[in-house]
Amino acid sequence: MHISLASDSLDGIAPALAAEVERRGHTVTLYGALAPDGRADWAWCCSSAARDVAEGRSDQAVVCCWTGTGASIAANKVAGVRAALCADAVTAAGARRWNDANVLALSLRLTSPQVLTEILDAWFAAAPSTEPEDAANIAYLREIR
């Protein structure tokens, strides 16, 4: 898969994020502090990564800021993106399964290297639910204005 990655700083897990995603066999596009010449402000870099997903340049994205909140808000402003702020593996798996989340938002402050590994394991292993009620919820998200 092609994964877009964005972080507004190089704090916490940010320096290891690209290597961890690439280690899993994915190719990456980098934004913000992760890119040599990217604008590092959270709203700009995280929405850029999310736009890659919405426009089909990436399959998924991982966006990060100090709390993860701004990263998830910026990503969710992009039509077609379902970003989930996940602090643990169970939440990440549920976000993929029940919400068909296509952007993972992480807190640079709270996510340890071990928890990052667990979250990414769960995120990449989970698949969207095929249950009719789950599909109906995802379809309805496109209608909400």
List the catalytic residues: 65
**37: its two tokens:** 């010449």
Chain length of the chain: 145
Type and span of the H or E element at 111: none
Residues 109 and 67: beta-carbon distance below 8 Å: yes
Secondary structure class of 53 (helix, strand, coil): helix
**Run of H or E residues at 15:** helix 14-23
In what helix (H) or strand (E) does residue 65 lie, and over which residues does it extend? strand 60-65
